[in-house]
Amino acid sequence: MAKGILIAAMDFAAAPEDEFHDWYDLEHVPERLRVPGFLNADRWIGVDNPKISLATYDLDNVGVLHSPAYLAVGGDNGSPWTKRTAKFRKGVLRYEGEQLFPGDRTAPADAAALMMIGMNVAPEHEHEFNEWYNSEHVPALGSVPGVLCARRYRGTGGTQRYVALYHLEAPEVVRSERWRKAADTPWTQKLRPHFRDHLRIECRRYRRAG
C-alpha cells in the first residue's frame, strides 16, 4: 500500500542532457529503489518546458525518508556523481507527503502523462478546502475520461502543503471539455480566491532514448 509520496522536480537546462539522464537512470533511480519502502519510480518531462524533469516515488509511508537505508544515500551522503551533477540542476520542487485521498493507492504503470498541482490555502478555509478536495474535486476529475488515477497528499517542509497527482492517458486530457466542467464548479469558484502558492506542472512520461 502506497501511503507516502516523494516528488522531485528540477530544471536541468544547464546540464549536459545525456549525462543528466544517465545519472538519473543508471544511478539515482536504481539507488532509491534499493531502499526498503520505495515501491516504484517514474520519470516525467515537462510538456511546456522539456528541460523540466519530475520524478515520483510511491512509498510505504513518508517515514521511509528518515530510515537508515535512505539516509545512507541521501543528502550529504550522495554519490560523487550526484554531487558532480548538482551544480547543473536547479530545484523546482521537493515534496514529501502522505496520501489523503483515496488513501493508499499506487500509481498506475501505464500512464502516458501526469499533471501535478501544488498549493496552499488560507488557514481559515483549510477545513472546507479539504472537504471540497476529497468529496468533490478529486472524485470529479478522477472520473473524467482519460484520467487513470487521481490522488492527493498533505506534506511537510515544502513550499506547497497540498499536492494532487493526476495520471493520464495523454496530456490533452486536461484540456478536454469534460475536464473543464469537472474542474470549474461553483464550489471551486468559491474557494479559488483563497488558494496560495499555486504550482502546476504538466508532463509526458520520460522514455529513455534507445
User: Which amino acid type is present at position 35?
Assistant: V
**In angstroms, rounded to a whole number, what is the distance separating the alpha carbons of residues 42 and 28?**
12
Please state the domain count of the chain: 1
**In angstroms, rounded to a whole number, what is the distance separating the alpha carbons of residues 70 and 133?**
32
Q: Show Cβ contacts of residue 85 under 8 Å, excluding neighbours closer than 6 positions.
A: 15, 19, 20, 23
In this predicted structure, the answer to whether residue 76 has a pLDDT above a threshold of 90 is no
Task: Give the residue ranges of DSSP H helices in the chain.
Answer: 17-22, 29-33, 68-71, 80-86, 126-132, 138-142, 177-183, 186-191
**In angstroms, rounded to a whole number, what is the distance separating the alpha carbons of residues 173 and 159?**
27
From residue 199, how far is each of 10, 31, 173, 184 by CA, in Å? 13, 28, 18, 18
Q: What is the CATH number of the domain that holds 185?
A: 3.30.70.100
Residue 195 lies in a domain: yes
Q: Which of 38, 94, 97 is nearest to 69 (CA)?
A: 38
- For the chain, the farthest-separated pair of C-alpha atoms sits apart, in whole angstroms, at 52
Residue 72 lies in a domain: yes
6-39 pLDDT, tens digit each: 999 999 999 999 999 999 999 999 999 999 999 9
pLDDT at site 67: 97
Look up the domain containing 36 and give its range: 4-205
In this predicted structure, the answer to whether residue 195 has a pLDDT above a threshold of 90 is yes
**In angstroms, rounded to a whole number, what is the distance separating the alpha carbons of residues 38 and 60?**
7
Residue 184 lies in a domain: yes
**In angstroms, rounded to a whole number, what is the distance separating the alpha carbons of residues 93 and 46?**
13
> Across the chain, what does the average pLDDT equal?
96
Residue 175 lies in a domain: yes
Residue 95 lies in a domain: yes
Q: Which of 174, 15, 200 is nearest to 93 (CA)?
A: 200
Residue length, the chain? 210
Residue 210 lies in a domain: no
Cell 521511509, residue located: 64
* Mean pLDDT value across residues 174-190: 97
Which grid cell is 99? Answer: 496520501
The model carries a pTM of 0.96
